Amino acid sequence: MEIVKRFENMAEKSSAKVLYFKNLDEIMMYCIELVDKKNMTDILMKDKRKSNSFKTIAIDEDVDIDINKFALLCSEKNIKLIQNNLRDYVGGIDVGITNAEFGIARTGTVVVNTARESTRLLSMISEIHLILLKQKNILMDFSDIVSNLSKYMEQETSYISFITGPSRTADIERVLTLGVHGPEEVNILILEEL
């Protein structure tokens, strides 16, 4: 448990939020509550070139959530759940949900397999990026995950992202701004071992 606490402390130092959940149902409810509290986002629809306002959750296809149940819960709150054609929504996705392969406790970093374009888009264009991480996949150092990454590197198209908090930049006067080149907020949702 010490390794998980170390991960949490380091992730929070990089402005990420770390939350713990017992099951995927709790995660679905958290996502819906998070989006429901947000102000409306104007979405620029690619095909219509006009602005429509509705709240959106985009979920990567490899996230192990019951998509039908999630869609029903979203529709009850008038939230649009999308999984395909993410390029049509680049004008604004309120919450994007992806999986992490590993967490690195020493730095509070999550390792995300971004071989699919949808995963890369979700990690970049969502206002809030929710990253699901299984507690058992939190390791101490980068060296602990190297052997596990080789299976991804053998694939023809292989992209691995190391994410440590939301994007940040500072101007010449050292004024720090979060979310300029990516999500304004990163929440790491740790699925506890049962």
- Which CATH number do you get for residue 60? 3.40.50.10420
The residues with which 95 forms a beta bridge, in sequence order, are: 57, 128
Mean of the pLDDT values across residues 140-165? 78
* Cβ pair 118, 97 in contact under 8 A: no
pLDDT at residue 124, rounded to an integer: 80
Q: What is the pLDDT of residues 12-71, one digit of tens each?
A: 998 899 999 999 999 999 999 999 887 655 544 444 434 456 788 999 988 989 999 999
Helix (H, G, I), strand (E, B) or coil at 95: strand
* Cβ pair 85, 118 in contact under 8 A: no
pLDDT at residue 88, rounded to an integer: 78
Q: What is the pLDDT of residues 89-116, one digit of tens each?
A: 776 788 999 999 999 999 999 998 877 7
Q: What is the pLDDT of residues 115-134, one digit of tens each?
A: 777 777 888 888 899 999 99
Tokens found for residue 165: 């908090």
Q: Considering its fold, how many domains does the chain have in total?
A: 1
Helix (H, G, I), strand (E, B) or coil at 186: strand
Residue numbers of the domain that contains 137: 2-191
